[in-house]
Structure 1
């Protein structure tokens, strides 16, 4: 009866050279990254001291906002006053020349086609530039 054949095989050897090469590459990478991040010059910055907040009441609006409403039937209203398209443009030009910091709002009816609203908004922006905004009601 044979139990086992005994062979004289040498134990397996682990080749450490490839593992050490990879480990040295990773170590070199982290050393280089650490050295480049550590050499940044600090910016000497002095922040102003915190100022106590003073509660100021909001300044009241001195002029009425310029709101143009477009009706579903094609009519225009300026601050709830019916007007036609040409006089509206003239009033808008005079309002924007008098008040440099005010904005003109266009409030269209929801039933109007999008194309018609955008076309009129474009005409208004030719007069007022970037001080014309499309408004929505909530």
Structure 2
């Protein structure tokens, strides 16, 4: 008669990592998509111009600093907080912004169909207000 002993399993138990990796990749993808959608402020009905590489071939890097965004739509109207506004209102808001944030940035998002002179005129006017860190946004 044979004895009914358990056979001792000398193998090390295996852990299947594939399902865990699938879950981690899904979570990572979710956070990447969410972070990309929350990084920029959108202004309605603006099409930004395409960016070009710098002389060294590297794209400009975006630094996360509290910014004030002023838009210029295709009709040449100023847009602030997704509302059409006048230059005196923008001027007042920019002065208040720089009074609270001396190291802040002012970003101009202008429609790509505008002429260079319209955009350059706005940039000059905004710098004259006191914003020495005025930038032009591109796609």
The TM-score, its normalising length taken from structure 1, stands at 0.50
Q: CA–CA distance in 2 between the matches of 1:69 and 1:129? A: 15
Deviations, residues 53-94 of structure 1 (Å, cap 9, x unaligned): xxxxxxxx795x310000111111113232111101111011
1:107 to 93, 109, 134: 109
Q: CA–CA distance in 1 between the matches of 2:131 and 2:88? A: 18
Match of 1:68 in 2: 70
Aligned length: 76
Q: Secondary structure at the residue paired with 1:130?
A: coil
Structure (1/2) with the larger helix percentage? 1
2:96 to 94, 97, 100: 94
Unaligned segments of structure 1, at least 5 residues = 1-60
Q: Secondary structure at the residue paired with 1:74?
A: coil
Q: Secondary structure at the residue paired with 1:112?
A: coil
Q: Give the structure, 1 or 2, with the largest relative contact order (CA under 8 Å, sep 6 or more).
A: 2
**Highest CA radius of gyration, 1 or 2?**
1
Aligned-pair Cα RMSD in Å: 1.8
Q: Secondary structure at the residue paired with 1:107?
A: strand
Which 4+ residue blocks in structure 1 deviate beyond 4 angstroms? none
Contact 1:96 1:102 in 2 (8 A): yes
Matches within 5 A, 1:1-138: 65-136=67-138, 138=139
Contact 1:93 1:127 in 2 (8 A): yes
Say if 1:101 and 1:75 are closer, same or farther in 2 by CA, change over 3 A: same
Contact 1:71 1:108 in 2 (8 A): yes
The TM-score, its normalising length taken from structure 2, stands at 0.50
